[in-house]
Structure 1
């Protein structure tokens, strides 16, 4: 055995530095975190708290839900089943609006009616709220101010009045429209009028209409009377037409109502 000879074998390789690996991993994690934060809080915003657009147990909840819904164009489920005609036109405005903020909190205007107001797209919009199925609902929306309250939210027809002529029945009907009295208006409708007519009468009353009888035609042979109306529907000039059946069951009754045409 010879001593002192050099020892041959594998030399330990120098360990490579992992510094750049950690720097790269850190940069990747930062980029991922930034991307998640952007998509979560900006778009599509899944980290954001969604605004409440469904609560309507109280007028206060409904008014805020409606404003939130307008801001997101999601207020359709908050309307009453029968509501004002102008509220449908408001939905088109709502779709083009920019945000919405409550400006006047819910406050009572009548026995079973509350109002509130908000601003959207540089305009003030008032809403009227009444009890409905499953909570409160919005029956009217008016640009420029709060809607006038109804004297009653009752929708059951009043007892049929004792009228002798078609002209008398038509006049009572027009008076009920002007007084915004839903039970009185429905009480002089014929029993067989379509549901669309009954709903249309209520739509007009939920808004703000005012009629005067301009001319009356009594068609004796046809047993019919036609009342030609001059009117304002939500501030817009419009004619109207009421037709009666003068030999209806229970006496003369209103068989047809055209709220904005003659």
Structure 2
């Protein structure tokens, strides 16, 4: 009985399998790397946009926040009115780079500057609850420091007419003297008016009184103003209560309309 030679199946090469596995691994690794560093960027070190224990930290957090649209928690509760214009510019600009680190400008005030959309933007920082906050942002340079951070009204000045009260109010605005400006406001004026006055003073506005209308029957005076903020001129308006208890006082202030 004759038996044939044993048959052996040819051994298949595993080279193709290893090449396939390597290609799959490379594709997966590349995808993870792309999504990790680009979108959503979970391998990236996220920029700090919240620290504000020191002016230096706040300055860097603000610049980082500008780049990511996250600065809302860094503003002071009352900040300059022109800072809202800055936010509009920020929304259409890309990138921000710190150009001048935080440095002291007054007893309790620091400034810093950065570039944004080819422009220089300066910020002013003051102490606040839980750290520091940004009270003003100015395009083209650093904001001028406030003479004082005191927000307690000064004693009511002795004025005889509504026109005199209005002129003292304008002088306080131009001197950027918050206590003096608040002292001329009527006791029952709305909180929004008090805050609006401080918003204007946090900037660098200047006003002149063009003329005054004394309404004897209504016991009221209306002062018509011309104001200038960052080189832009607008009309303004002050209304007073001339028979208020304690003397004439300012009941309303419209900084950019008449």
Would the TM-score normalized by the shorter structure come out above 0.5?
A: yes
- Tell me by how many angstroms 1:88 deviates: 0.4
Q: Is 1:238 the equivalent of 2:225?
A: no
Alignment of 1:189-204 (within 5 A): 189-204=185-200
- Tell me by how many angstroms 1:10 deviates: 8.0
**Equivalent position of 2:161 in the other structure:** 165
Q: Provide the C-alpha distance between the structure 1 equivalents of 2:70 and 2:46, rounded to a whole number of angstroms.
A: 12
Q: Provide the C-alpha distance between the structure 2 equivalents of 1:57 and 1:223, rounded to a whole number of angstroms.
A: 50
RMSD: 1.6
Alignment of 1:160-239 (within 5 A): 160-239=156-235
Consecutive unaligned residues of structure 2, counting only runs of 5 or more, are none
Q: Provide the C-alpha distance between the structure 1 equivalents of 2:214 and 2:126, rounded to a whole number of angstroms.
A: 39
Q: Provide the C-alpha distance between the structure 1 equivalents of 2:38 and 2:6, rounded to a whole number of angstroms.
A: 58
Alignment of 1:1-262 (within 5 A): 5-6=1-2, 11=7, 13-262=9-258
Q: Provide the C-alpha distance between the structure 1 equivalents of 2:74 and 2:86, rounded to a whole number of angstroms.
A: 14
Superposed CA offset, 1:138-159 (max 9, x none) = 1111111111110011112122
Q: Size of the alignment, in residue pairs?
A: 258
- Tell me by how many angstroms 1:44 deviates: 2.1
Is the partner of 1:255 in helix, strand or coil?
strand
TM-score by length of 1: 0.94
Superposed CA offset, 1:67-106 (max 9, x none) = 1111112111111111111110111110111201011111
Larger gyration radius, structure 1 or structure 2: 1
Q: Provide the C-alpha distance between the structure 1 equivalents of 2:104 and 2:242, rounded to a whole number of angstroms.
A: 42
Superposed CA offset, 1:15-65 (max 9, x none) = 422222122111111111111111111222111100111111111011111
Q: Provide the C-alpha distance between the structure 2 equivalents of 1:258 and 1:73, rounded to a whole number of angstroms.
A: 30
- Tell me by how many angstroms 1:13 deviates: 4.0
- Tell me by how many angstroms 1:8 deviates: 8.0
Q: Provide the C-alpha distance between the structure 1 equivalents of 2:176 and 2:32, rounded to a whole number of angstroms.
A: 55
TM-score by length of 2: 0.95
Q: Which moved more, 1:7-16 or 1:91-100?
A: 7-16
Is the partner of 1:161 in helix, strand or coil?
coil
Q: Provide the C-alpha distance between the structure 2 equivalents of 1:6 and 1:114, rounded to a whole number of angstroms.
A: 104
- Tell me by how many angstroms 1:6 deviates: 3.9
